[in-house]
Amino acid sequence: EWRERFAAKLVSPDAAVAAVESGQLVRLPMGPVPATLIAALARRAATLRDVVVYQGSARHPHPWSQGDPAW
């Protein structure tokens, strides 16, 4: 059943960003920002360094795009 195979691939936002390592590039899709993933990545801020987040045009300002040195 395809639904079972698909469901087995779903992970939490925290599990999804666990693969991000210091020095890597994170490219966000065009359109609405996956806010749950960004929040999960932000929770890891103390353990990551030099992660670059690329984003297309945003509808709303986000902390990582406002020049905050903590980002």
Q: Is 11 exposed, middle or buried (0-12, 13-18, 19+ CB in 10 A)?
A: exposed
From first to last of its 71 residues, what are the pLDDT tens digits of the chain? 999 999 999 999 999 999 999 999 999 887 777 888 888 998 998 999 999 888 776 666 666 667 777 66
Q: Is 41 exposed, middle or buried (0-12, 13-18, 19+ CB in 10 A)?
A: buried
pTM of the model: 0.73
Q: Which alpha helices (DSSP H) does 1-71 contain, by range?
A: 2-7, 13-17, 35-43
Q: Cα(63)–Cα(6) distance, rounded to whole angstroms?
A: 32
